[in-house]
Amino acid sequence: MAVFSGTDLRCVRGERPVFDGVSFRLNSGAVLELRGANGTGKSSLLRMMTGLLPSAGGTLSWNDEPIAADADAHRTRINYIGHLDGVKGMLSVAENLRFWMSLRAGAEADEERYHMALATFGIEALADTPARYLSAGQRRRVALARLVACPASLWLLDEPATALDTAAAAALDHTMGSHLGAGGMVVMSTHEPARHPTPRVDLNDYARRARGAVRTAAGMTA
């Protein structure tokens, strides 16, 4: 039973405070939804959880150990899907997927997983197609196939359903369901109306608090 948690997280982008005081606690088998208007820092919070963006304050912990203490271990636990697909147009779908598998120890030669990843998102037929011929939705499917191809316990998804059709969105829901069933965790940012009650962080509140903090910072005397 793993626990992923954050306390008092603060984010400053450029010189602009984005949010302040964000805390959450996520157990195995649970989803955390990040909500909030544009510019409130959903992507920034996800990137912080990925380790891409250092936090301006607060700590992220895994089983109550700060993840900064062992960043390498944290990277083996996560699977991040950002706004950009990370799909190389000059490579075929299969080459793209196999490249990502080769970066994970233990996943490089897992044929079963590789075929499962293609099948889950319905892209077997595209395996040999150069990715530059794919539509935005199809590229997104290739990116999402990484979730299945590269096993990791914590999925960090930044608006994963962007450009997906209903079938692919359903496939994503289903994949997330089985991931959670197996004790995985998901943190995702989304704008879609919630279908079932899930724990969530509403960044609108924290963004307001951060803007209050600017006032104090600017009041500092020279």
Partner 1 sequence: MHRFANPTRFVALVRAVQPWAAGIALVTLAAGLWFSLIASPADYQQGETVRIMYVHVPAAWMAMFCYSSMAGASAVTLVWRHAVAHVVARATAPIGASFTFLALATGSLWGKPMWGTWWVWDARLTSVLILLFLYLGYMAIENAFDDRARGSRAAAILAIVGAVNVPIIKFSVDWWNTLHQPASVVRLDGPAIHPSMLTPLVLMAVGYTALYLWILALRVRADINMSKVRALTLRGA
Partner 2 sequence: MNSFSALIARDLRLACRQASDSLTVLAFFILVTVLFPLAVGPEPGILARIGAGVVWVAALLAAMLSMDRMFQSDYDDGTLELLVAAPIPLEIVVLAKASAHWLTTGVPLIAAAPLMGVLLNLEPEGYGALLLALALGTPSLSLIGAVGAALILGSRRGGALLSLLILPLFVPVLIFGVAAVEASLTDVSARPQLLILAALALAALALTPWPAAAALRQAVE
DSSP three-state, residue 92 = strand
CA distances 66 to 4, 7, 75, 111, Å, are 10, 10, 13, 35
Q: Could you tell me which residues come within 8 angstroms of residue 35 by beta carbon, excluding any fewer than 6 positions away? A: 42, 189, 190, 191, 200, 201, 202, 203, 204
76 binds partner 2 (CB under 8 A): yes
16 binds partner 1 (CB under 8 A): yes
Q: Smallest gap, in angstroms, from Cβ of residue 153 to partner 2? A: 12
Q: How far apart are CA 160 and CA 1, in angstroms?
A: 25
Question: According to CB under 8 A, which one of 1, 54, 105, 195 is a site residue for partner 1?
Answer: 54
Question: According to CB under 8 A, which one of 86, 115, 162, 211 is a site residue for partner 2?
Answer: 86
Residues in 33-52 at the binding interface with partner 2, rule: CB under 8 A: 47, 50-52
Chain centre to alpha carbon of residue 26: 14
Q: How far apart are CA 145 and CA 125, in angstroms?
A: 14
- Do 5 and 187 meet the contact criterion of CB atoms below 8 Å apart? no
The binder of 214, among partner 2, partner 1, none, by C-beta within 5 to 8 A per type, is partner 1
Residues in 81-110 at the binding interface with partner 1, rule: CB under 8 A: none
Q: Smallest gap, in angstroms, from Cβ of residue 75 to partner 2? A: 4
Q: How far apart are CA 147 and CA 116, in angstroms?
A: 11
The binder of 14, among partner 2, partner 1, none, by C-beta within 5 to 8 A per type, is partner 1
Quick one: 90 or 222, whose CB is closer to partner 2? 90
Binding site for partner 1 (CB under 8 A): 13-16, 54, 211, 214-215, 217-218, 220-222
